[in-house]
Structure 1
């Protein structure tokens, strides 16, 4: 047991959204920054638990979270934990990737691997329903420009219609991610869980050399004719090199995309990512992938 001191998300929300007489603008900006930092770290912590350890803190409500003085996220109350099987971990990883890439047939296969789809279900109809429900989602820089809760709602509507099973681990993981999104939206209505989570997912796929991750990568980067899709790889590298800096509340500081210095920085980040990964021990998957393409 360890005593943990820190601010709760509820306190940070209270300060960041408080009236102008109670808190200064600087206090509001700082509280918002710390809250969004906590949420981003919480999303990444959930993904680490989901994709690395398989042991998940399944009840991250505001009362169970703390923002410590050192800027770390603290979890309290481990009374509700979820242990996942390895195959379910990779199936959930695959489902995130397939949603982003609009590959509904592969998404259904991932749901089957999660033990959600009952035997005898009409897979073709389920695929069509998912495409109809999620096909309207817009993308920004290769990432769904939509709230996680909305995507989840659309998937659940199809799941209920076709009487999917809802394994405990599945509902608890989604609840965890949705909880963090709810916290963030209280301070920043433009927050997107996919935007916070997907760079971690991409980096895992590019650096983990396992049969499961290679299978997911190949499903994304090779078409049905086994032809390499360079545009997809370029997008993967761009997302993997994203710097998830928090956006502070500033006045009169908007910069047009054409004038933004982030373009040059983004190109540098991609080059840096490639040069860092390729010669390293974590670059086996990427080296194999490039050899496949040549």
Structure 2
């Protein structure tokens, strides 16, 4: 490492070509999980000095109303096609939704979907939080989800993907087993934290529908084709060592009438293919930890560690 450059040390280097094999249940080559973001956006949130919640002055009704479509219409349409083809959601939850729209949360819970935390609101960011504030957010998330669903959250995706230097240490301290906030791999792997065992769960920016439609300007069919190509490659490579495909969704996007049909074709394709372990993120984390893959990954990394001075 060059002088003056500092690696944050969140995880170790492990090249894909030389890893211990991960095996998924029933000989499947790729673990596929769908992550609906069930979110709540405030129309006039408190200002964060480091990032604006809305690009225009508040209240900005256009983006608020667009996102509110999710909880009124989009969620139900998306959930219908997921259930039709055997996909259980792993919900990235703005936990305030438990109070604002409890029917949405109860519906997902009744379908046996998993919940993990996406913070309280997606319009409030971790930037600038002190440790007490961040602990309060984590404790609130655990308590609110448990009270609303009976589930104890296992994972974390930071609100609007915002963090502090202590976020990963804190969620591990509170007993969570995985983070979705590291977008660096197609397999789970160990994350360095002060206590406990935390793994990085593959969560894709590249095939997130927000990026597909807002950033890459894809048509619904182009996005569906992208998902199928992502699946086919990961399923083939997973024969060598099990891979993970995450499909992150926002139902105000994918749940639109003109987009849901091509997306349903993707689900039909994956379900019929036979190589996919169609599952939830927490089940992937449990399998990875229960079968010593955490230790095997750490041993792989140790072979590539830089020599100590």
Whether these two folds match at TM > 0.5 is: no
Higher helix share: 1
TM-score w.r.t. structure 1 length? 0.25
Higher strand share: 2
Higher Rg of the two aligned structures: 1
TM-score w.r.t. structure 2 length? 0.24
Higher relative contact order (CA 8 A, sep 6+): 2
